[in-house]
Amino acid sequence: MGTVTELCASSFQAFLCPTVQLPDDLSPEERQELESIRRRKQELLQDIQRLKDEIAEVTHEIENLGLTEERKSMQRNKQVAMGRKKFNMDPKKGIRFLIDSSLLKETRDDIAQFLYKGEGLNKTAIGDYLGERDNFNLEVLHAFVELHEFTDLNLVQALRQFLWSFRLPGEAQKIDRMMEAFAQRYCHCNPGVFQSTDTCYVLSFAVIMLNTSLHNPNVKDKPSVQRFTAMNRGINDGGDLPDDLLRNLYDSIKNEPFKIPEDDGNDLTHTFFNPDREGWLLKLGGRVKTWKRRWFILTDNCLYYFEYTTDKEPRGIIPLENLSIREVDDSKKPNCFELFIPDHKDQVIKACKTEADGRVVEGNHTFYRISAPTAEEKDEWISSIKAAISKDPFYEMLAARKKKVSSLKGL
């Protein structure tokens, strides 16, 4: 028998090196103890291997989880980008796509926040969506306006902020709803500045028209501060607004015009996506009186014409504002109608066209004569264009609201 130290040394060696021969002089109890140590070693080695396997598995899962989250994020970003593109093409379809894809909640507040942030959204499309008269769109409009903070801002400052967040649509009723919502919000943020929201509404339109008059190079007769003040007499529930307030608004617009936001989306694609009317017509040339077949699109109070239906950009644009339309007889072509400026027979219509070399030039028509394929199509085009032709909606709505204020004063 060896000493305890010798036994321990031999046992430890056997633990590390199981192939080592056991001493012959070990007692049965010592052999049993050594076998127990060997079993324990095997169990520990198995536990260690199991832990290694588990660690490797968890590490793999963590790595895969990172990749999966990254893939999910990339997929979500792709869907959001697609939703924005759809919105720029057709606002209602874009919103529906984002809701159906669980990227947007179908609540007025969530949609308003999405439009207010405006990332990658076409400002014209935002304006069109907010101007719709559906009840839900109206709720979104008011939620959108409530995201603007106008407290302690003068009217021009508030209008600058408001008109930067979208582009005013061309339809008078849409503009009316949006400016009504603005007036309500401004008066809520600044109680006591105006007697009523009607006053704020009228003055807001007056400021927008002032901006056009002062900074549009085509307007030769620039209004003075005295004329601006006189134009806005009696709009404050029958009373006059302080001269200092009107003078400050005038100076602010004179020194810095409103900035029109750039569109982030494809303007032309959006413009021609849902036209009022489209089809082939013959157009008589301006200087050279020849008839040419063109693809016409009527939308947004403008008449666009293309050489081919596949063209991405129009050959010419005819704004319909302040124009009139009439049926005419032509010795060479049937089913004709004309666009012209009433009471200004020789005045050139404000329009533009693209030359063959790509240059954009002003049109030279005093009238546009157009021939439709059939009498029925001629009548339909005349009806559609009459519906689209309008004078400046600002003046019409301003006159209507001033009339309303005057009638309330008389009660």
d(CA 34, CA 25): 13
Do the beta carbons of residue 134 and residue 103 sit within 8 Å?
Answer: no
Beta-carbon count within 10 A of 37 CB: 13
- Which candidate in 54, 171, 180, 380 is catalytic? 171
d(CA 145, CA 153): 15
- Crossing angle between the packed helical segments 197-215 and 393-410, to the nearest 10 degrees: 150
d(CA 333, CA 289): 12
Token pair, residue 79, equals 């869907």
Do the beta carbons of residue 362 and residue 355 sit within 8 Å?
Answer: no
Decide if 171 is catalytic: yes
H-helix or E-strand spanning residue 33 = helix 28-89
The separation between CA 347 and the C-alpha centre of its own chain, rounded to angstroms, equals 37
d(CA 287, CA 297): 23
- β-pairing, 360-362 vs 336-340, is unpaired
Comparing CA positions, the residue from 337, 341, 358 lying closest to residue 350 is 341
Query: For the residues of 270-321, what is the DSSP string, one character each?
Result: HHTTS-SEEEEEEEE-SSS--EEEEEEEEETTEEEEESSTT-SS-SEEEE-T
Residues designated as active site: 171
